[in-house]
Structure 1
Amino acid sequence: MKKRYKYPLIALSPILLAAAVFGIEFYRNIGKLPDESRFARLPYYQNGAFRNIYTAPELPYYPERATGKGGFIRDDSYVPKGRLPMHTLDKNSFGQAEAFAYYWLGHASAILELGGQRILIDPVFDNASPVSLPIIVPRFQEAPISRENLPHIDAVLISHDHYDHLEAATVRHLADKAARFIVPLGVSDRLQSWGVPSEKITELGWGDAAELNGVKITAETAQHYSARWRTDRNKTLWASFVLEGAGRRLYWSGDTGYGPHFADIGKKYGGFDTAFLEIDAANAGWPQTHMFPEQSVQAALDLGAKRMVPMHWGVFSLGRNPWYVSIDKAVKTAAHKNLPLDVPKMGEKYRPDSFRNDGWWTRKELR
């Protein structure tokens, strides 16, 4: 009779341990879901989920150009050949928050100073993934500042709960440091499960506003969706934002497809000094949940914006386009439409009155 040896179990134990570790990490990064009864009377909440005002198609899990690899697995054929030019920041880079200044941190993350308030928008410093595997939605460039080196933050503003906009590790780090968190409906439950006190959180539905020491922040419509796993799609809201302070009116698109909502918002507010608009991650597989760059420029015109600053590009290869395609198209289209478009580097202090484009994204060694 043959003996049964336990050595195969010993060989498998590291794999099982790794699976357990990643499983725990994944679970901790999803966050808690809200009580659905809170939203039952909202016109844009039906059958247990938030919905777009304008119809948006279901989003496939794999972009059309990523056949066989999966849409969010590392593929270096889309990334820059070298590091993009960047201004490195730390706490000493910031003094008192100014009337208006903007620091792009890459993709859709930014520090916005308005009316003497410092607002951190959609802060993501690691890969846009629920687990720390370097092949899943990896960055192709580090952020210009680490979460540990952030200056004092008066408010953290979140547009929606996707991993490239809402990072659990950063929320946990800022839970006892940031003075306030302003989020769309339902996202507060995720934040509380990561340690943010409920009294620090302000939830906004579309059309709701919050006051931040003289700065008014209003959540407006966007055409997108939410999810941190396959079973929680549209259980929390997504939003764009209008920020008003120090005599300026700004628009932050968050993630959105192109639609009539831009003209509606432009008419409602009478135009904007600057519109920060997403230009990348569009793919033919999801034509109404992200914008192609030509649509982003048209959105700025619909909003009545005096100038446009592109965001949601330069860090992740989500739409499976070469990294420079979207910015090239946005710049070309804006020039044709006579729309001023400013392209600051990551970490660069941006003020529209003194900014001049230097074409850094066109450098041949990066393509």
Structure 2
Amino acid sequence: MVLSIIAIIVIFIISVILFINYYPSFGGDISKERQSLYTESIQFDNGIFVNTNRVNMDMSFLETLSLARKFLFEKVENGRPKQDILVPKIDSSNIANYASPTRFLWFGHSTFLVQMNHKNILIDPMFSDVPAPHSMLGSKRFSSKLPIEIQQLPKIDAVLISHDHYDHLDYKSILVLKDKVGKFYTPLGVGIHLEAWGVLRENIIELDWWQETSFDDLKFVCTPARHFSGRKFSNRQSTLWSSWVIQSETENIFFSGDSGYDKHFKEIGNKYGPFDFAMMECGQYNTLWPDIHMFPEETAQAGIDIKAKKIMPIHWGAFKLSMHSWTEPIERLTIKANELDLQVLTPKIGEPFLLNTNQSTKRRWWKQKDQTIDY
């Protein structure tokens, strides 16, 4: 009996090791040679990337056990919608034939299609049902359908990626997208995952914080964030994380990526603001990790810091990755934004919208009784 138990444990351990080392969704690993390319970055220190104001990412063993227990066994009131979020549909021709003005399509969480200057730009493409290395290792998306299936998307001119976590960089999505994308833009190191999944290195542009690059008549700027990276325990902090600025001659847009609140928002606002529109992280926060995700009140203040005319809360509405109710982020943000006289846009997932839209928090689509509204 004892030998059988030992054999089961050994087989389990070997299976986990093989899974982590060979399952493709974990992506690539940074080699020593690749690390040498990052030594000039002030964010790269002793073989890892760090935040400007250092963040302690180490939880105690008891804290880790407590968190695991909460996720597995504690029921969060209104943690998920009581029914699937109903998502309007958009067809491929609507996207392919769209010309102007600048238009946005939110897929929930942090994934966007931005149609700007006759270009299709995807941000943090995550189209899978579960934000995890395997579909059995996480909870499913709040909506069973997407506005458009990823296979139906037309040519994508550029993809911007903020960091390498599973809810922002998805293996299956990249496999489908890679042959229809012109260029991938990432923070330092993230390209190693794309290369592991078959994206040609010459189609990947890696940038450090504050570096700018031109994409035809647009400018992309890799800007700071306060977060961390890693797709498995052995490669945490091996790639950089970022926010992004997207500029045309007439419009200025900001995407926060994942970030805790810090002085970098004011620095970005002073250098590149004011912004016509900002997509701001607001969700999956917890008192155990206050430095790497903003609370909704901080999201509103960050919108003021970057000098945004309008903000939209993102990083909510699709997945349960923390212990708050699924509607708490938008409701808390709305209250604080009203105090700060900050305009908030709240389009429904799958509803195309323009920068000059008059949508406001008066339309509370996330309330259950309103979810059957068809736009």
Task: Report if TM-score (shorter chain) is over 0.5.
Answer: yes
| Deviation for aligned residue 1:309 | 0.9
Give yes or no for contact 2:88–2:351 (8 Å, CA) kept in 1: yes
- In the other structure, the counterpart of 2:23 is 27
| Deviation for aligned residue 1:59 | 5.3
| Deviation for aligned residue 1:144 | 2.3
Relative distance call for 1:81 and 1:129 in structure 2 (3 A) is: same
Q: Find out whether 1:158 has 2:187 as its counterpart.
A: no
Alignment of 1:27-176 (within 5 A): 27-34=23-30, 35-58=34-57, 60=59, 67=67, 69=69, 71=71, 77=77, 78-94=79-95, 95-126=97-128, 127-133=130-136, 136-142=138-144, 143-176=146-179
Bigger drift between 284-293 and 98-107 goes to: 98-107
The separation in 2 between residues aligned to 1:63 and 1:120, in whole angstroms, is: 36
| Deviation for aligned residue 1:85 | 4.0
The separation in 2 between residues aligned to 1:85 and 1:343, in whole angstroms, is: 15
The separation in 2 between residues aligned to 1:74 and 1:27, in whole angstroms, is: 30
Give yes or no for contact 1:219–1:242 (8 Å, CA) kept in 2: yes
Secondary structure (helix, strand or coil) at the match of 2:329 reads helix
Relative distance call for 1:283 and 1:247 in structure 2 (3 A) is: same
Bigger drift between 225-234 and 170-179 goes to: 170-179
Bigger drift between 30-39 and 218-227 goes to: 30-39
Give yes or no for contact 1:64–1:283 (8 Å, CA) kept in 2: no
TM-score by length of 2: 0.87
Relative distance call for 1:72 and 1:242 in structure 2 (3 A) is: farther
Q: Find out whether 1:204 has 2:207 as its counterpart.
A: yes
Bigger drift between 158-167 and 67-76 goes to: 67-76
Relative distance call for 1:299 and 1:72 in structure 2 (3 A) is: farther
- In the other structure, the counterpart of 1:3 is none
Q: Find out whether 1:360 has 2:365 as its counterpart.
A: yes
The separation in 1 between residues aligned to 2:311 and 2:63, in whole angstroms, is: 27
| Amino acid corresponding to residue 32 of structure 1 in structure 2 | G
- 1:77-121 CA-to-partner distances (Å, cap 9, x unmatched) read 510112224222231331234341100001011101122221111
Give yes or no for contact 1:226–1:237 (8 Å, CA) kept in 2: yes
| Amino acid corresponding to residue 58 of structure 1 in structure 2 | M
Q: Find out whether 1:329 has 2:329 as its counterpart.
A: no
| Deviation for aligned residue 1:256 | 0.2
| Amino acid corresponding to residue 122 of structure 2 in structure 1 | L
- In the other structure, the counterpart of 1:5 is none
- In the other structure, the counterpart of 1:281 is 284
Q: Find out whether 1:346 has 2:346 as its counterpart.
A: no
Unpaired stretches in structure 2, ≥5 consecutive residues = none
Identical-residue share of aligned pairs (%)? 34
The separation in 1 between residues aligned to 2:20 and 2:54, in whole angstroms, is: 36
Q: Find out whether 1:223 has 2:219 as its counterpart.
A: no
Bigger drift between 166-175 and 217-226 goes to: 166-175
| Deviation for aligned residue 1:246 | 4.5
The separation in 1 between residues aligned to 2:266 and 2:177, in whole angstroms, is: 35
TM-score by length of 1: 0.88
Give yes or no for contact 1:82–1:365 (8 Å, CA) kept in 2: no
Secondary structure (helix, strand or coil) at the match of 1:175 reads helix
| Deviation for aligned residue 1:344 | 0.5
- In the other structure, the counterpart of 1:234 is 237
| Deviation for aligned residue 1:241 | 0.5
| Amino acid corresponding to residue 54 of structure 1 in structure 2 | N
Give yes or no for contact 2:80–2:325 (8 Å, CA) kept in 1: yes
The separation in 2 between residues aligned to 1:228 and 1:45, in whole angstroms, is: 18
| Deviation for aligned residue 1:216 | 0.4
- Select 2:264's aligned residue among 261, 264, 279: 261
The separation in 1 between residues aligned to 2:230 and 2:112, in whole angstroms, is: 22
Give yes or no for contact 1:123–1:170 (8 Å, CA) kept in 2: yes
Secondary structure (helix, strand or coil) at the match of 1:176 reads helix
Unpaired stretches in structure 1, ≥5 consecutive residues = 1-7
Alignment of 1:301-312 (within 5 A): 301-312=304-315
Secondary structure (helix, strand or coil) at the match of 1:288 reads coil
The separation in 2 between residues aligned to 1:288 and 1:195, in whole angstroms, is: 34
- Select 2:299's aligned residue among 296, 299, 309: 296
Give yes or no for contact 1:271–1:304 (8 Å, CA) kept in 2: yes
- In the other structure, the counterpart of 2:193 is 190
| Deviation for aligned residue 1:22 | 8.8
The separation in 2 between residues aligned to 1:72 and 1:125, in whole angstroms, is: 24
The separation in 2 between residues aligned to 1:88 and 1:195, in whole angstroms, is: 30
The separation in 2 between residues aligned to 1:59 and 1:308, in whole angstroms, is: 32
The separation in 2 between residues aligned to 1:109 and 1:74, in whole angstroms, is: 28
Give yes or no for contact 1:103–1:346 (8 Å, CA) kept in 2: yes
| Amino acid corresponding to residue 116 of structure 1 in structure 2 | H
